[in-house]
Amino acid sequence: MFLVEMDRVRRPKSATHTDRRTEDGKARQGRGLATGSKAPAAKRRSLEQAIGTHVRSLRRRLELTATELAAKANISVGMLSKIEHGLISPSLFTLQSLASALGAPLAAFFAAFEEVRDSSFVKAGRGVTIERRGTKAGHHYQLLGHSLASDVIVEPYLITLSQEAQPYTAFQHEGVEFIYMLSGKVIYRHSDKTFLLEPGDALFFDAGGVHGPEELIEKPMTYLSIIIYQRK
In this structure, the number of other CB atoms found within 10 A of the CB of residue 100 comes to 13
Could you give the number of structural domains in the chain?
2
- Give the pLDDT score at 65: 93
Q: Specify the CATH number for the domain of residue 213.
A: 2.60.120.10
**Residue 189: CA count within 13 A, CB half-sphere:** 16
pLDDT at 27: 43
Domain residues for 51?
47-114
pLDDT given at position 18: 44
Report how far residue 184's alpha carbon sits from residue 168's, in angstroms, rounded to the nearest whole number.
Answer: 16
User: What pLDDT is stored for residue 40 in this prediction?
Assistant: 66
Q: Are residues 171 and 211 in the same domain?
A: yes
Asked whether residue 70 is domain-assigned, the answer is yes
| Residue at 170 is within a domain | yes
Question: What is the full per-residue pLDDT of the chain (232 aa) written as tens digits?
Answer: 333 333 343 444 444 444 444 444 444 444 444 555 566 655 556 788 888 888 998 898 888 999 999 999 999 999 999 999 989 989 989 999 999 999 888 887 877 666 556 677 778 877 888 777 777 778 888 888 877 666 788 899 999 999 889 999 999 999 999 999 999 999 999 999 999 999 999 999 999 999 999 999 999 999 999 999 987 7
Cβ neighbourhood burial of 224 (10 Å; 0-12, 13-18, 19+)? middle
Distance, in Å, from the CA atom of 138 to the CA atom of 149, rounded to the nearest integer, reads: 32
